Chains A and B, each alone.
Chain A
């Protein structure tokens, strides 16, 4: 399932696979759709035959016979349609679903790198809209096949009636459709611009809604509404222009097909007047000339839909084949993990030439005046990236030699911006695996998240909304900390875990943190004195590596830079 292991994927391959993997439904649907089209083509023919019966023989038994044939034809076309559409839509939906899951797998793959600078909204769009477009190919294929068959059936019937009339219809229809296509060319370009405008208007609206709280705080609703009205009116002007062009195109199509019917009627009428064809055959010809436009324009629709599916498939392929940020290593993770970290000459971004050893079971504080340095260190420890230079080792095994998932099973890096997920408070805390009720309670208490639970209507079973939206900043932070503690990893790296927590609670958390992590390696990246005070040792990192190290209290005394970073 994990596509990122298969190497690069092309858009064509994605599209092909989406169809081939659903081939049973696609083939069945195509055959049935062809039956339906053939049946539809026969309806005008049968009308002609029955008119002939009325004019020439007037025989009631012949009439009953042909009405029976008409009925049989309707049964065939109706059932063909029914099961053809079901099979096609099933194939489309299943292909869409499979693509969505492959994309989710890729985005969540431990190796990372799928984002590639894309916003999460864009990735969501790729797994919904683009996946749907590719899936729709499974509807397009049967309909395209059926349209071709309908054209062939009509051609055979027309040529059987009269070769010159048949040729007129068969050779006249494609130029007619080309004309339509030509008329719609500038329209397609314009429609793209229109879609962009419309998308812009809806983008502006969504952006304003997303920033609703900020607008409210600022009292800028009125200004925002005026700004939106301007965008909306601009979009309206563009849309109106396109609407007129569309209407004109519709008019051209209607006129040209009407004129074409007039020509067919004229030629057919002349042939019939000369006795070369019967009245019924004239009626069938006119009926078929009208009918033929449907399958022929379906083929046009098919090409457009296919082009869109290809473009969507290319976007999907770009995500699926994005190279992972870190390659999977073949090394074996230490078992059990003692929790010794060793950094040698680690350079990554602003992090420069860092040598650092963390002993098993140590509680280490890391202070950095620069958020960028802290983030680079966290990324290396989580193996979100491999450092540009130098190595990070866990129990003497280089992290780069391990699978990133194996690294994270041993080392949990809980960043400041970690999000909570939709679900209950308890589900969030236990998501990363807690061993038992006692551990969960211990984690909740240590992070002071039990107080958060007490303030909610259903305690730990309260739902906390998407991204913990129903909690305040401080409450979110404590639940996230409880989750990190409950995971019980041998090595835990915490990043600014208490910035939104009041100082009494913070010092309680600091003490509890020391107890709950006793014997297991813990690194706290922070400038909070309350947390640093409980550590065994603190290192100060700046752009030149480790500036100084020692106990918090000693460093506050002895090191002016440290004092300034931590205490002001």
Chain B
């Protein structure tokens, strides 16, 4: 699947979108999803064909009534065909109900499976890849694209299936009336095929650009609305309204361009309708004239053809929806079919909480190395502070040890076992990373905590909250631990959210914990609360703290000073202060203002 990356998905501002599946890969993925349900699929098609076929009996029955009238065989004879039309309606209605129910049910099952697979893979994606694509890409796929495909499964797909069957069966029925009707009706087909191909060729690119433009608009609105307070403070409203206007006008322009294409498409279809209808009517006139068909048959043929207008339009109208659903599907499959991360065949268990980093190099982008050969040994239950200027590579090192990224070179082992031999599953149980980023998951507070340990009892949850000094406010929430928190519900302060992150750490109870600037976002006053909480949450485990506040460094067992991607000093706080090196300078700058 490595060749599925669509190069057209590169954005002008150098973002690299997540992979989009090719048409062939998308079809293969759908076939794989369909395989477990193939008998359901066969029955579904059979029922729908039967339903459409029965419904087609209406036109010849109407023709029969015309014939009875023309032949003057008396009004009583009209009753029989009329009753049959009613019977046909009831049977066709029943078959439609069953068939549609089966069809949509099938589609929904496939969609549910696909979206679950998508989330499964999306959460396994390396963070670098997600970041390169921009935060909006994954979100847009999981909300927008899944919704578009869902609508297609409920609307376009059944519509298309029914219309397609009706068209084919109607044409067959016309042929059964008289082959010449079918022959002239097919005069419309070249025009329709040409039109459809013209449309797909032209509309595809326009829709693709339309989606990009709409994504851009959405992103701009998020940026502007989310940053409204900043916009007001810096008086940037005019600039931001202009940005929104620009993005919105681009989107509007592309939508209208799509509409112009669509209306030209229908105009061409009208031509096909006229050509076919006129041909059938003229043929009927001639065949009735030379006595080879009755007026009733000619009527049935004309009614058949007229009744095709609806299904053909509806089939071709759904080309629109099908195209955009296809594009969305390719974007979902592109992620859902990514290979699963390999679990190693035999797994070694970490013996303790020690961490060993040997000659680790890393670069996010080629030629821009962030780490140059870092060596680091941390003993079990040791607490190490990582110190250095912004951009020295502290966060990168933290993420590498946590297994979030894989180093470009060198090796990292936890408890004496290389991270690769541990496999993602075991590595996750061994090391937990708490970052400066806070996210409170939507759901109850208890659910949020149980992400770290699904089987935790209420008592364990309370204990974890108590460790980080959060039990008091958690109990004070409207429904205690059952309070719904997160987006759209009870909102927590940054400090509370960080306490929650530390409580999750305590619950997960890993031998190794890494804290990266976990106190920075809370502001200087909240930071002290969090520092105390972090100290308690780290008790008994190996701790690596990316420290900005020097108090964190001063209380650590050892301090590692990182500078421009290299370890420049390692040692105990007082040793390093005494040695007069880089750490001493940092300490000096910090403590100078405190005396």
Contact = CB atoms under 8 A, between A and B. Distances in A.
Contacts of A466: 134-136, 219, 222-223
Nearest to B239: A431
B235 A207 contact: no
B256 A507 contact: no
B198 interface: no
Q: Which of A246, A382, A404, A452 has the most CB of B within 10 A?
A: A246
Interface string A451-488: 11001010000010111011011110010000100010
Interface residues of B, number: 184
Nearest to B520: A500
Contacts of A79: 267
Nearest to A204: B442
A44 B306 contact: yes
Nearest to A510: B593
B391 A252 contact: no
B226 A120 contact: yes
A12 interface: no
A71 interface: yes
A529 B228 contact: no
B390 A502 contact: yes
Contacts of A83: 263
Interface stretch (A53-61, A168-176, A345-353): A53-61
Interface in B93-149: 93-94, 96-101, 104-105, 108-109, 112, 115-116, 118-120, 122-125, 127, 130-131, 134-136, 138-139, 142-143, 146-147
A272 interface: yes
A408 B590 contact: no
A101 B505 CA distance: 44
A444 interface: no
A67 interface: yes
A404 B229 CA distance: 13
Interface in A101-135: 101, 104-105, 107-110, 112, 114-115, 119-124, 127-128
Interface stretch (A89-97, A142-150, A153-161, A329-337): A89-97
B390 A556 contact: no
A265 interface: yes
B78 A216 contact: no
Given A50-B285, A262-B86, A533-B593, A243 B154 contact: yes
B543 interface: no
B241 interface: yes
B74 interface: yes
Contacts of A269: 65, 68-69, 75, 78, 81-82
B225 A123 contact: yes
A209 B136 contact: no
B380 interface: no
A565 B125 CA distance: 43
A286 B307 CA distance: 12
Contact of A127 (B116, B139, B221): B221
Given A207-B442, A233-B112, A279 B295 contact: yes
A101 B255 contact: no
A208 B440 CA distance: 10
B390 A568 contact: no
Contact of B112 (A54, A236, A243): A236
A225 B136 contact: no
B365 A457 contact: yes
B226 A473 contact: no
Contacts of B528: 568
B227 A205 contact: no
A255 B266 contact: no
Contacts of A219: 427-429, 431-432, 508, 510
6 tightest A-B CB contacts, nearest first: A258-B89, A219-B428, A255-B93, A251-B97, A474-B390, A217-B433
27 contacts: A50-B284, A55-B295, A58-B289, A82-B263, A110-B232, A202-B146, A218-B452, A221-B124, A223-B451, A224-B123, A226-B454, A246-B154, A254-B93, A255-B92, A261-B58, A261-B85, A262-B85, A265-B81, A283-B299, A417-B229, A431-B234, A451-B391, A473-B436, A499-B524, A502-B390, A530-B593, A552-B593
